[in-house]
Structure 1
Amino acid sequence: MKLNFKKSGSGEPLIILHGLFGSADNWFSIAKELEKYYTLYLVDQRNHGESPHSDEWNYKVMAKDLNELMENEKIESANLMGHSMGGKTVMNFALQYPEKVKKLIVADIAPRHYPVHHQSILEGLTSVKLQEIKSRKEADDQLAKHISEAGIRQFLLKSLGRDKDGNFIWKINLPVINDQIENVGEALDYDANFENPTLFMGGANSKYIQEKDKEDIDKYFPNNHLIYIKNAGHWLHAEQPQAVVETVKAFLK
């Protein structure tokens, strides 16, 4: 699948993948700092952003999508960074195509299985009557019945777009995501490991990377370094962008 991406900057390639319900746009503020040092590729994964929709949606095919992008862009090897679902994608990619990854950065996700915990978000997104709403405010009002946190609603509403006739649509492939949401929580299952430097960057206030995860991290990524960003939860790049930028720069040097 040919993914949508935004390219900027110069230097060694750094490819960044967003998380579930997100898009390349989530990383713009980070990109403004990092593009001074790297050629950045901010990627929309399949069924998200401006990339194509597909009924097939799992980490194996998302890793293949990334490989196709690198081949099309003639990138022999790159530094990879992924947040949450994007972190699982780049972990899978590094284990399948280790020769194509210089350094790996995984933001607030571990190799283990995660149970489905996005039910209220999916219910909220599904509840929005796209054919009836006249404004983003109306969509927000409908989402608020299921999701109380305004910040989460604003993040989700970035995926609200319009079709060629001006009607509201979700840019994400909501039916497939809803039907296959368990795929996002899948654990890594390989007989291989990735030996190049790997940074696991967690939010200090998040529970996504726990002490019990160190065994799996060491198994698949023996050359790893685990750090926590202070005063940050799961959305560490939005909550502490400067700390994330400095951490990424220090690791990639």
Structure 2
Amino acid sequence: MELNFKFYQCLDKSNSLDSILLLHGLFGSSKNWVSVSKHLSRYFNVYSLDLRNHGDSPHSNIHTIPEMAKDVEEFIQTHKLTNLHILGHSMGGLVAMYFDLHHQNLLKSLVIQDIAPRNYPFIYENEIASMSFDLSLFRSRAEIDEKMKEYVPDSFIRQFLQMNLERTLDGKYVWKLNVNGIGKSDRVFLEQFENVSPSQTKSLFLLGGSSEYITESDRKLIGNLFPNARLETIPEGGHFIHFTHATNFLAHLDSFYNRL
């Protein structure tokens, strides 16, 4: 599958041969990673991808971690990328870890934001429901937001989801996400990290101190599968630390990449 992407050329000519792929999380897109992409262009040529069923990338009824990893492999081959690094958040982090574990010694570095190499339940039924009603009945974003509130009370999450809401030339509202396809893929986060050999890639796992996605047992699991990983925590950070704690997040990235 040919993925859509945004490209940011490296500002440092001495590093211009290195490239990094940014892989967003569920319901996200390259649109959520503009600030991080611009920051990382001081080190790399940055390719911020829209994973399948997200952003401007094609839709498919198949939405699995292995298939998304294949899309990433195809992207790398199509663009003839070498000296490669990957940063992945949440679902994108699962794709990044799966790709690295199945392409040993390919990556120069790996950064994973707030996710571990294990099974996660699909707990997004409310988010799917909030994007599944008939948009033709609504005349404004405010009206849509009010309806979404019935399913998702958290305004931050609603605003995040609404980054996928667009208005067509004839005035109709549409979701760019493949809402139906994602909603039917409720096993997407299961059974991906069994019977794999540990990765030797230099890695950074950047975790939110208040995140519900990481447990104490996850830290041991990360160490077992990624023995060359550093685990660093942003205190009081949640799952979206690249946005809510942007300055601290970027400082951790700078420290990691300056040590490579």
TM bracket (short chain)? over 0.9
Which one of the candidate residues 9, 16, 19 is aligned to 1:13? 19
- Alpha-carbon distance between aligned partners in 2 of 1:84 and 1:33, rounded to the nearest angstrom: 20
Say which SS state the counterpart of residue 20 (structure 2) adopts. strand
In the alignment, what sits opposite 2:213? Answer: 208
- Alpha-carbon distance between aligned partners in 2 of 1:76 and 1:118, rounded to the nearest angstrom: 36
Q: Deviations over 1:142-172 (max 9, x none)?
A: 1011111111111100111244644221111
Q: Deviations over 1:74-103 (max 9, x none)?
A: 102411000000000000000111232110
In the alignment, what sits opposite 1:92? Answer: 98
- Alpha-carbon distance between aligned partners in 2 of 1:169 and 1:186, rounded to the nearest angstrom: 33
Q: Answer yes or no: is the 8 Å Cα contact 1:3–1:45 preserved in 2.
A: yes
Kindly report structure 1 stretches of 4+ aligned residues shifted beyond 6 Å.
Answer: none
In the alignment, what sits opposite 2:143? Answer: 138
Q: Answer yes or no: is the 8 Å Cα contact 1:94–1:194 preserved in 2.
A: yes
In the alignment, what sits opposite 2:182? Answer: 177
| Cα-Cα RMSD | 1.5
TM-score norm. by structure 2 comes to 0.92
TM-score norm. by structure 1 comes to 0.94
Q: How many pairs were matched up?
A: 252
1:1-253 pair list within 5 angstroms: 1-10=1-10, 11=16, 12-127=18-133, 129-163=134-168, 165-253=170-258
- Alpha-carbon distance between aligned partners in 2 of 1:80 and 1:132, rounded to the nearest angstrom: 41
Q: Answer yes or no: is the 8 Å Cα contact 2:65–2:192 preserved in 1.
A: no
Q: Deviations over 1:185-204 (max 9, x none)?
A: 44412332210111111101
Q: Deviations over 1:49-82 (max 9, x none)?
A: 0000011110111011011111111102411000
Bigger shift: 157-166 or 31-40?
157-166
**Identity within the alignment, %:** 35
- Alpha-carbon distance between aligned partners in 1 of 2:181 and 2:160, rounded to the nearest angstrom: 20
